[in-house]
Structure formats: C-alpha cells, structure tokens
Amino acid sequence: MKYAYYPGCSAKGSSKDYEMSTQAVCRQLDMVLEEIPGWNCCGSTPAHAVDTELSAALCARNLDIAARQGAQLLLTPCPSCLSNLRAAAQRMEKPTFRQRVNELLDEPAAETFPEVISVMQAIAREKENLVKRVRLSLKGVRLAAYYGCLMSRPAERMRFEDPENPLLMENLLAACGAEMVDFPLKTACCGAAFGIPERAMTARNSGRILELAVRLGVDAIVTACPLCQMNLDLRQTQAGRAFETRFHMPVIYYTQALGLALGFTQRELGLHKLAVSAEGLLNKLDGLRRAPAAEGGQS
C-alpha cells in the first residue's frame, strides 16, 4: 500500500538512522512511503512557541501539498511534526483562524486535509504481516518503550492511545518476542529542545529517564522521537554528569528494533550511528541467532 509521507527535517539530519530503519521496516511490510513533493519544516516547537498562526501556516503548506496529491492519510515518523500538523489541521477548522493563516500562504489552503497519523500507527495496522515476517525473535531481550511527551498529548489532539499509558510500541515489540517492562516514565518529557539554551533542563529530565531504565535492567530504551533519541543518546554524558554518574544505556528507535527482528543488518538500520553503542544488545541477539532452534523464527 502507498502512503503520503512527511519525513520531517531531522530525517535528513540528526535522525537519518530513524529514516533508514523506518524505510527498511515499511518496505518489508509492503508499505510504500512517498515523500510529498517540496515539503517544508513544520516549524517544530520554536514556531508554536513564537506564534500559533505562523506555526499553522508552515504546517498548512504541507497539509495542502498532501491534500492536492489526493492523499487520505499522511504519515510522519516524528511526534513533534505529528503534533504540529494535527494542531494546525484542528485549528484550521475555525474559519477566522483559517483566514488568518491563508493570508500568510501563496494561495488559500485546501478546504480539507488528509488525516495525519504516526508511522507507528500505520505499522500497527500491519501487525499480522509483521509477525509473519519475523526472522529473528527478540526473545530474551528486555526493552523499555519510551514515547516522550508529544506522541499522546494533548489527548484530544493526538488521539493516540491512553495519553499516559500508551501500549502500541509494547504491542509491536512484544509481537516480535521482546520482553517489555512496565516503564512509568514512558510519556515523561526528555527536556525537549532546551539542550542548547538551557542544558540543565534537558540533563535533569533525560537523566531521570535513563536512571529508571538502568534500575529496571533493560538492554535498551526504545523510542519513536528524534529529539528524545538525541537527548537520551548523544546527550547521555551530559545527563550522567548532572546525576554524578556515567550511564551506559543504548537508546534505539523502535523501527531499529523491529528491523532487527525482520532480519536487517545493523548497517541497514543505521545502528552504527548511535553515540552509546548497542553492542551488548546486539551480542545478545547474535547469541540467539546462533542458537540452534532460533525461537519464533522461520529460518
């Protein structure tokens, strides 16, 4: 099945590994992600922090491109893009707001927009297909699913599972054999984009999440958000310093975990791009692969 796709800017920069693994997993599930032509940045947090109409205009241009392509659904991997695109679509239902936003655009935006959902939700619709294609069960691997604060909140906007206890990622990864721990901070905030201007904010919030994951003895934190991944992985030493410790906790994208189960190589999934290496996890999986009766696998 073909989907209109909005990768978001980080897919071209800091989360190339998310993009690689998302494409790999979707390809395997016969989901074709087609980038909408000429898409622009959704404005992320800075745009809505500064002005709601500016943020909506940047989003509306993308929604309009997708609408003109005749798309019914628009998929994005990034929770921040998802949140902004959905917020803009919702606000544009109000005529006075729509008019103010249209004034900022080259041409008035399409009257109706496709619904924007997370790639994760689209993959979940293919769960049966996914289970059939598992080549290497993740059995024996212990993971914490971390959604971050944007994916499920505010609830009326996101309509993504229980806003404080989503389970979609757990369901997908458990279907591949992984042991999913109950992770109470799964929708806590990682400190967002404060890493540059206010490092203490990010170090403190990310550190809390890392500390809990360490205590729960997981092999990795699994995330769906490029900014969360960067804060927890690339900034892990900064968080460690704030907590007077050295963390060593791999933080991978859920698509990388699914990709491993589907039999892709580390390189194909961009796992070599992690700042904190996932070697422990990969060795564990390697051991499982070599075990004579690879459980749950077909080969």
Partner 1 sequence: MNDTVDLNRMRDTAFTAQVEALSGQNISACYQCGNCTAGCPAGFAYDVQVSQIMRGVQLGLKDRVLRSRSLWMCLSCSTCSQRCPNNIDVAAVMETLRHMARKAGIVSVPKMEKFWLSFLNTVRLFGRSHEIGTMVLYMLRSLRLHTDVDLAPTALAKGKLGLLPHIPPGGAEPVERIFTRYKERAQREGVRP
Cβ–Cβ under 8 Å, residues 237 and 273 = no
Cα R_g (the chain), whole angstroms: 19
β-strands 142-146, 115-118 pairing: unpaired
Decide if residue 12 touches partner 1 (CB under 8 A): yes
Stretch of residues binding partner 1 (CB under 8 A), selected from 5-13, 70-78, 130-138, 171-179: 5-13
157: which residues sit within 8 A by CB, 6+ positions away? 83, 86, 87, 90
Question: Which of residues 2, 40, 286, 295 is near partner 1 by CB under 8 A?
Answer: 40
Residue type, 231: N
Question: Which of residues 27, 30, 34, 50 is near partner 1 by CB under 8 A?
Answer: 50
Q: Is the dihedral of CA 12, 18, 21, 24 positive or negative?
A: negative
Q: Is the dihedral of CA 192, 272, 269, 215 positive or negative?
A: negative
Question: Which of residues 26, 58, 74, 251 is near partner 1 by CB under 8 A?
Answer: 58
Decide if residue 273 touches partner 1 (CB under 8 A): yes
Q: Write out the two tokens for 36.
A: 């909408």
Decide if residue 188 touches partner 1 (CB under 8 A): yes
Decide if residue 61 touches partner 1 (CB under 8 A): yes
- The distance of closest approach from Cβ of residue 47 to partner 1 in the complex, given in angstroms and rounded to an integer, is 6
Decide if residue 191 touches partner 1 (CB under 8 A): yes
Decide if residue 274 touches partner 1 (CB under 8 A): yes
Decide if residue 44 touches partner 1 (CB under 8 A): yes
Q: How far apart are CA 206 and CA 198, in angstroms?
A: 13
Measure the CA angle with vertex 275, ends 273 and 278; round to 5°. 80
- The distance of closest approach from Cβ of residue 293 to partner 1 in the complex, given in angstroms and rounded to an integer, is 36
Cβ proximity to partner 1, 28 vs 202, nearer residue: 202
User: In the window 85-104, what residues touch partner 1 (CB under 8 A)?
Assistant: 103-104
- The distance of closest approach from Cβ of residue 234 to partner 1 in the complex, given in angstroms and rounded to an integer, is 6
DSSP 119-185: HHHHHHTTHHHHHHH-SS--TT-EEEEE-TTTSS-SHHHH--S-SSS--HHHHHHHHTTPEEPP-TT
The residues that touch partner 1, with contacts defined as CB under 8 A, are 9, 12-16, 37-41, 43-54, 57-58, 61, 103-106, 149-150, 153-155, 163-164, 188-189, 191-198, 200-201, 204-205, 230, 234-235, 237-238, 272-275
